[in-house]
Amino acid sequence: MLQKPRGTRDFLPDEMERRRLIERRMREAARRWGYREVSTPDFEHLELFTMKSGEGIIQEMYVFEDKGGRQMTLRPEVTAAVLRMYVNEGKVLPKPIRWCYFADCFRYERPQKGRYRQFWQFGVELIGADTPSADAEVVMLADDVLRSTGVAFDLHVGHLAPMKHLLADLAPGDQRAIMACLDKHDTAGLEAALVEKNLTHLAEPLAALSKCRNVSEVFEIAGDIPERARIEEIFSLLDSQDIDYRPDFGIARGLDYYTGMVFEGFAKNLGAENQIIGGGAYRLAHLFGGDDVASSGFAIGFDRVVVSIGDFPLVDEPIVGIVCTPEARARALDVARAFRGAGVRAEIDLMQRGMGAQVSHAAKTADFAVILGKREVEAGTVTLRDLHSGKQQERSLEDAIAEVARHGSC
Ligand code: HAM
């Protein structure tokens, strides 16, 4: 038996319905903030991601050569693609641009619970606003989108400036290596890197920064850095809206394009792979031939949110099984069409089963049977049987449709 590729999943109808419902809530929340949906290709030129996305993601990419000899990759994330699209088509649009997306991403990772090779992200990119209000909006929107799904989470908000200030004298490569350890909370790796690079004097301030949960303390550790006023304003805006977050200046983010405010969120009930959102302020457009525009955004790990929420009862919209004799088939097709026209799901026998077998099948798959025999065809009626109570009654088609529709949100 052939199996699906490692790190991918199949979704049966119940799970797809749950996923679509959660997805809809996310889209609707973003829409209320003025974010409009965009879509980019599943694959891009490799260099789009090698320019600035960071070592981690590059090693994880699904890279291939197309028939024209071009180096391509399945997208490992959507931000770079959206900024490429902005440079190609969006530069003339009035700013700020508020875009959102729901897209599958591909990363060649070691699969485990909550970590897949194909996974979905719901994300937003806010392009062209370089203000504390823009930074705060993205965090507030993230909070709203996550809340709309019902997932229980902790939000950590930080800023890269204090950490970068501490690491300011380091060569860019060393800075990246240290930040990668901080991002992965790899204390042993961090210690080894600091010893190797003769930077042990940074161990204490870096540890203090990671532990610091109070905005004013940050400047005691990192000094009175130029970004202080901006950082304070971002946090005071979040406080003004009672956003439930924790300041966290240990956030380093794995992707290389971030420039300022950064944030991450964690599902309360998940294990090792509990990070359900990551985002922040960044600059990418200038690398793709555009203006050096400030942007910020986030991406939610949709699959992890779904796992965290768990199973929940689906809205039970009724389904009708149309049961008919061979002679009544044309009438049955008309009746099915009338139900569907009223928004009710209707299925018709395709197996040439007898009437009894059709009713038994409907009892397994439907809520109502609509029975069409010789009598009903001649009288222009239908017999409607409630398959849960067993009660049945001959009625006009209109009455039957109204009766079924009453049971659901049709
Ligand atoms: P990221 O942190 O790489 O950020 O990914 C965002 C989220 O995608 C993660 O927090 C996680 O929930 C989910 N995720 C990542 N890898 C996997 C995986 N293998 N399986 C399941 N879920 C996964 C970005 O991608 C940035 N583009 C976010 C951003 C948007 N920054 C600014 N704008």
pLDDT tens per residue across span 119-141: 999 999 999 999 999 999 999 99
Dmax over CA atoms of the chain, in Å, equals 94
What span, in angstroms and rounded, lies between the C-alpha atoms of 320 and 345? 6
- Provide the CA 173 distance to its chain's centre, in angstroms: 32
> How remote is the CA of residue 355 from the centroid of ligand 1, in Å?
53
Please report the domains of the chain, with CATH numbers, ordered by start residue: 13-160+253-309 (3.30.930.10), 162-226 (no CATH), 319-408 (3.40.50.800)
pLDDT tens figures, 65-122: 999 999 999 999 999 999 999 999 988 999 999 999 999 999 999 999 999 999 999 9
Average pLDDT over residues 208-235: 93
Write down the pLDDT at residue 173: 85
The C-alpha atoms of residue 148 and residue 164 are separated, in whole angstroms, by 34
Q: Give the residue carrying structure tokens 């229980």.
A: 152
The answer to whether residues 286 and 247 touch, using CB atoms and an 8 Å cutoff, is no
Residues 6+ apart with CB under 8 A from 320: 336, 339, 344, 345, 346, 347, 366, 367, 368, 369, 370, 404
User: Which of the four pLDDT bands, split at 50, 70 and 90, describes residue 54?
Assistant: low
| CB-based contact 234:249 (threshold 8 Å) | no
Global confidence as pTM: 0.94
Q: Is the CB of 77 under 6 A from ligand 1?
A: yes
Cα(38)–Cα(85) distance, integer angstroms: 9
Instruction: Compute, in angstroms, the gap from residue 277 CA to the centroid of ligand 1.
Output: 6
In this model, does residue 316 exceed pLDDT 50? yes
Indicate whether 56 pLDDT > 80: no
Backbone φ and ψ for 121, nearest 5 degrees, come out as -120, 140
**Ligand 1, from 9, 255, 263: best to mutate by most atoms within 8 Å of Cβ?**
255
Smallest CA separation from ligand 1 atom 13, residue: 301
Do residues 300 and 26 lie in contact, with contact meaning Cβ atoms separated by under 8 Å?
Answer: yes
- Confidence check: pLDDT of 380 > 50: yes
- For residue 77, which atom of ligand 1 is closest to its CA? 25
Cβ of residue 301 lying under 6 Å from some atom of ligand 1? yes
* Mean pLDDT for the stretch of residues 61-67: 96
The DSSP letter of residue 76 is: S
- Mapping DSSP to helix (H, G, I), strand (E, B) and coil, where does residue 117 land? coil
Q: CB atoms < 10 A from the CB of 61, how many? A: 20
**Atom number, ligand 1, closest to the C-alpha of residue 300:** 7
Q: What torsion, rounded to 10 degrees, do the Cα atoms 199, 251, 114, 99 define?
A: -130
Which tens digit of pLDDT belongs to each residue from 160-179?
A: 999 999 999 888 888 888 98
pLDDT at 409 over 70: no
* Block residue for tokens 């779904």: 306
Between the CA of 278 and the centroid of ligand 1 the distance, in Å, is 6
> 253 versus 115: which is more confidently predicted?
115
Q: How many CB atoms lie within 10 A of CB 172?
A: 9
Residue 35 has pLDDT above 70, yes or no: yes
- CA-proximal residue: ligand 1, atom 29 (nearest): 298
Does ligand 1 come within 6 angstroms of the Cβ of 76? Answer: no
**Ligand 1: does its nearest atom lie under 6 Å from the Cβ of 298?**
yes
Return the percentage of the chain with pLDDT > 70, whole number. Answer: 99
Indicate the length of the chain as a whole number.
410
Mean pLDDT of all residues in 297-309: 98
What's the gap between Cα 71 and its chain centre? 27
Q: What are phi and psi of 167, to 5 degrees?
A: -100, 15
- Type and span of the H or E element at 142: helix 132-149
Ligand 1, atom 4, lies closest to the CA of: 278
pLDDT for the residue numbered 410: 44
Q: At 122, which amino acid appears?
A: F
